[in-house]
Amino acid sequence: MTTPQHKVLIFSTADPTGATHRQLEAAGFELVFGKSDVNNPLGNTEEGLRELAKGCDALVGTSIKGARITRKVMEASDRLRIVAKYTIGVDEVDIDEATEMGILVTHAPTEANYGAVAEGCVGMMLNILKKSRQRDQWVKEGGWRDDSLLSTYVGRREDGYPGITIGLIGLGRVGGRFAELLRPWRARVIAYDPYIEQSRFDQLGVERVDLDTVLKESDVMSLHIVLNKETYNMIDARELAMMKPTAVVINTSRGGVINEDALADALKENRLSGAALDVFEQEPVDPENPLLFLGDKVLVSPHNIAMTPGGGIGPGIPWATESVLKALRGEVPDNVYNKEVIPRWIERWGKKA
């Protein structure tokens, strides 16, 4: 029997067909598997991942919550070339350390994923503003029309009604698609994103403002940012105190960007009107999380807003698999997150002429 050319750790599986696993094996790679999967992000520990990563040339998989891919994990193999994610997010990978070590980190920003998140944001926003749950329950319990069930009209009208202000924090792929979907509604859309060029704001018809303006003027504030050292608890008690008491917060990015205790307090004390959350700092969410006990003020879902038949992270699985195949052939994949590492990576691992 021939010795496998490369060893690959699939740290969190998401391919129920096993097709991409067989693709890697057909290329002559040995596969090892972590203890988590797309429906259960727990299971792995840092020590467990470190042990599994020994001798590996590549790490690949979907999101994990029980552990992170730290320097300690990546140092388990001096052959490691790439960490490839099936998802858009890379927050469980220590990007700075990977870059310092000369390791590529790739992700899979597929339209099926970011587009579904944006559509889900619209659905969550309308569910809260139009009081769909309350109206449904009211009628099923024998009620009929009632002024307490009046809903919010989103866009401006010819009679002079100005519409509401929708504020975005982050105008990348998800935030940009959300803004595109909102354009026909004729609502005012403002956004804060210091990393996006002005031309994108202009193209999307979005007004560029600073963070405080988004907080103070938004009737709906939606977060579309990555989780890193800069954005952890970016929305805390101070920021929430700047918002209108009638405002609604939507978070479909990562749970850690909002201080959940501060959000729960603001909602309990009627300093905010409502929240819609697809993500939590601890996932699966702690059943004692106070945000779960605030009735119709909070709309929640289990971090699956992008999951649609044939969509979600599905298209990202073959994309990440191809990234691994390319990297192990000495080729640079086309979706590198830490692009600054590429010249050094090519010098060490690039295909020799």
SS3 145: coil
Q: Is 186 a catalytic residue?
A: no
Out of 188, 254, 260, 281, the active site residue is 254
Q: Is 303 a catalytic residue?
A: yes
Phi, psi dihedral angles at 300 (to 5 degrees): -125, 155
Alpha-carbon distance of 137 to 41, in angstroms, equals 33
Out of 224, 260, 303, 322, the active site residue is 303
Alpha-carbon distance of 182 to 164, in angstroms, equals 12
Place of tokens 């959940």: 260
Distances in whole angstroms, Cα of residue 145 to Cα of each of 136, 137, 186: 11, 12, 28
Cis peptide leading into residue 333 (ω within 30°): no
Long-range CB contacts for residues 190-199, cutoff 8 Å, separation at least 24: 190/165, 190/166, 190/214, 190/217, 190/218, 191/167, 192/167, 192/168, 193/168, 193/169, 196/171, 196/172
Contact between residue 189 and residue 209 where contact means Cβ atoms under 8 Å apart: no
Q: Is 254 a catalytic residue?
A: yes
Out of 25, 46, 97, 283, the active site residue is 283
SS3 4: coil
31: β partners: 8
Alpha-carbon distance of 38 to 43, in angstroms, equals 11
Query: Catalytic positions, please?
Result: 254, 283, 303
